[in-house]
Amino acid sequence: MVIRKRKFILAFTCFVLFSSAGAIAHAEDFVSFDPVPQHPPSEEIFAVNIVIEAKKYLGTLYKFGGTTPTGFDCSGFVRWVYQQFDFSLPRTAREQAAIGEEISPGDLQVGDILVFKAGRTGYHTGIYVGDDRFIHSPGRGKRIREANMKIGIFANKLISVRRLILK
């Protein structure tokens, strides 16, 4: 009786192994190996990623002419953030005030570049993060921070909103 059980177990094991080998050999008939199509990120996802990147530098010290995480001025900060997504922005705030598409202030979206009048002839840039707030490198002795664009020194000084479009 024990020998019959062993022969049965051996026969059953062989049957399972050999019958499944055929199924494995033809698995490609049942599984699609087509690559998943790659779609460029949507404008919304891109904009959120810009804000996430900008927030990484909150607390970084302002540095006149600074263009790296060791210290940024306003336009150097905006330029650095967008560079992380393969956008090549001009160096100065005045030049950044002319890039991309001009947007009505009523149509602000997260990730837009805000351009403010600074002094009599200067410009100041930052990145819009929503709810009337933006991230910027404010000036000497200060650190990158969020600010409300409708109160304090920025109230009524917005002169342009720029949006960079994914291609």
Which residues are marked as active site? 74, 124, 136
Helix, strand, coil abundance in the chain, percent, nearest 5: 35, 25, 40
Amino acid at 42: S
Query: 18 φ, ψ to 5°?
Result: -75, -35
Alpha-helical runs (H) found in 60-130? 74-83, 93-96
Name the DSSP letter for residue 1.
-
Q: Angle at CA 86, nearest 5°, toward 130 and 149? A: 20
Q: In a 10 Å sphere around its CB, with 0-12 CB exposed, 13-18 middle and 19+ buried, how is residue 143 labelled?
A: middle
Q: Provide the 3-class DSSP secondary structure of residue 42.
A: coil
Identify the residue whose tokens are 């650190």.
143
